[in-house]
Chains A and B, each alone.
Chain A
Amino acid sequence: MRRLAQGECDDGKPTKFTPPPKPVIIDKTQSEASLRKFLSPEFIPPRQRINPLKFSIERKDMIQRRKVLNIPEFYVGSVLAVTMADPHASGKTNRFMGICIQRGGHGLGATFVLRNIIDGQGVEICYEMYSPRLQQLEVLKLEKRLDNNLMYLRDALPEYSTVNLDMKPVPHSVTGDVPVNKTRVRMRPKPWSKRWERPKYNVQGIRFDLCLSPEKLEHAQTWAEPWREYDMLKEYDTTALEERILKEVQTEMSK
């Protein structure tokens, strides 16, 4: 019995070589980000007396990392799930999900803090966005809140910080405005970690009428500094800078 060579069928006639069908790669992750003009806030350099060469080199490194790991568009108030490499965890990876309460840092040191309440215990983890330990970043729910710093959730009722661990990703539209969640949060009784009613924090997302009397709110307004909005030295218009950096980043990412 002659062994059948590859490509020969039973009757001995050589079959025509049919190449395998090309795999159709639907890269949803890349296309989603590009349809909305979004520049991650860590790309915008702060106003410093540093040679702009430093920022351009850093941007190159950031783009190089973003080509390897997809860092999606998200805002403070979105629900994220992060998988990171952990030598001490079982299976070497550690998955955590929570609400993003703060985005800080510039350049490669950019961080974001996720908060969740697990088994009745509030847990916050500050992740470095460009750390090589991060393996996957998924946005489960893309939305904005009334403030861009939700540190007051530490003093709010626990229901506002809980994210269900079996949450499925909520589909969000790729074009158009990001939905704004206008919930105003109920607080625990005072004392709070910070005096959120004071105007320097400029918190819009707390129901102050339920926890403070109008006299207290008025007393808090005595710390208002209304002259700050006219302070010319604090003006930092980033629109031109943002456009330039956005174009640069988009061209580099598409290469």
Chain B
Amino acid sequence: MHASPANLFSSLVFSSLLLSCLVLSCLVLSCLLLSCLLLSSHKVQPLRNSNKGPSMALISRSCSGFLAQLSSLTHHKAFSVSAATAAIQKMTRVRVVDNSPLGSTPWHRAPRVIHVYTKNGVGKVGDRVLLAIKGGKKKALIVGHKMPGKRMNPRFDSNNVVLIEDNGNPTGTRIKVPLPTHLREMEGDYSKLLAIASRFV
């Protein structure tokens, strides 16, 4: 019984300290959670060269909810985009512009170039490439790139590609996006592809 009030007091103080510590830690944890979620939402950016294009940008800007952030987290990763230095090479993400089912159905990974059929590994308009698309390989033809080319030739805002068979026939039946006119030089090989194009620029 000696120093029992002291003991009590000390115990009270100790317990209050503990409680406050717990409360503080809870607060800190929740703050951390919120902050990391916010940070992740900031980091999540729309894929610039994805099939969806500006619609994804709108979705990412409008999504402020928790669940929307989670869904966007599964689709996109943070990346930095540098200026186009060499038109299309291995590992570039491309945009398939025809209405083929392989190019239109969504996939968790954007179609990527895995081989360029030129002497140097750089693909310009009219070069064939091999794409990794939906877990499989497919040949494609480049119909526009972001890199500026010759004067008087158009430069597109996305790297466009049309899926093609081995004999040069297009997989899809229509191309809505404008194609450059100097593609017509390869009338012999890709005449069917030029026939399904809707507009030339």
Interchain CB contact (< 8 A) of A191 among B45, B54, B61:
B45
A-B interface pairs (CB < 8 A), number: 82
Residues of A near B177 (CB, < 8 A) are: 119-121
A96 at the interface (CB under 8 A from B): yes
Residues of A near B154 (CB, < 8 A) are: 96, 123-125
Known: A118-B178, A120-B53, A120-B177. A125 touches B155 (CB 8 A): yes
Residues of B near A119 (CB, < 8 A) are: 176-178, 198-199
Residues of B near A96 (CB, < 8 A) are: 154, 201
Q: Is the CB of B199 within 8 A of A118?
A: yes
B156 at the interface (CB under 8 A from A): yes
In chain B, positions 168-186 with a C-beta closer than 8 Å to chain A are 176-178, 181-185
Q: Is the CB of A189 within 8 A of B151?
A: no
Nearest A residue to B175 by beta-carbon distance?
A119
Residues of A near B156 (CB, < 8 A) are: 121-124
Q: Is the CB of A191 within 8 A of B81?
A: yes
B83 CB to nearest chain A CB (Å): 7
Q: Is the CB of A128 within 8 A of B45?
A: no
A16 at the interface (CB under 8 A from B): no
B71 at the interface (CB under 8 A from A): no
Q: What is the bound-complex CA distance between A158 and B58, given in angstroms?
A: 12
Residues of B near A193 (CB, < 8 A) are: 81, 83
B95 CB to nearest chain A CB (Å): 9
Q: Is the CB of B151 within 8 A of A127?
A: yes
Q: Count contacts on B: residues with CB < 8 A to the other chain.
A: 34
Q: What is the bound-complex CA distance between A87 and B201, given in angstroms?
A: 13
Q: Is the CB of B45 within 8 A of A189?
A: yes
Residues of B near A224 (CB, < 8 A) are: none
Residues of B near A88 (CB, < 8 A) are: 181-185
Interchain CB contact (< 8 A) of A84 among B83, B152, B199:
B152
A186 CB to nearest chain B CB (Å): 11
B189 at the interface (CB under 8 A from A): no
Nearest A residue to B83 by beta-carbon distance?
A193
A25 at the interface (CB under 8 A from B): no
Q: What is the bound-complex CA distance between A190 and B78, given in angstroms?
A: 11
Q: Is the CB of A89 within 8 A of B152?
A: no
Residues of B near A190 (CB, < 8 A) are: 45
Q: What is the bound-complex CA distance between A133 and B201, given in angstroms?
A: 15
A66 CB to nearest chain B CB (Å): 19
Interchain CB contact (< 8 A) of B151 among A128, A157, A158, A191:
A128
Interchain CB contact (< 8 A) of A126 among B54, B148, B157, B184:
B148
B24 CB to nearest chain A CB (Å): 27
Q: Is the CB of B155 within 8 A of A131?
A: no
Centre residue among B81, B148, B181, B199 by max chain A CB count within 10 A = B181
Centre residue among B144, B151, B153 by max chain A CB count within 10 A = B151
Extra inter-chain contacts (20) besides given A118-B199, A119-B176, A121-B157, CB under 8 Å = A86-B181, A88-B184, A89-B184, A94-B200, A94-B201, A119-B199, A120-B177, A121-B156, A123-B154, A123-B155, A125-B152, A125-B154, A125-B201, A126-B148, A127-B151, A154-B157, A158-B54, A189-B57, A189-B60, A189-B61
| 15 residue pairs A–B, Cβ–Cβ below 8 Å | A84-B152, A88-B181, A88-B184, A94-B201, A111-B151, A118-B178, A119-B199, A120-B176, A121-B157, A123-B157, A126-B152, A127-B151, A128-B152, A191-B45, A191-B80
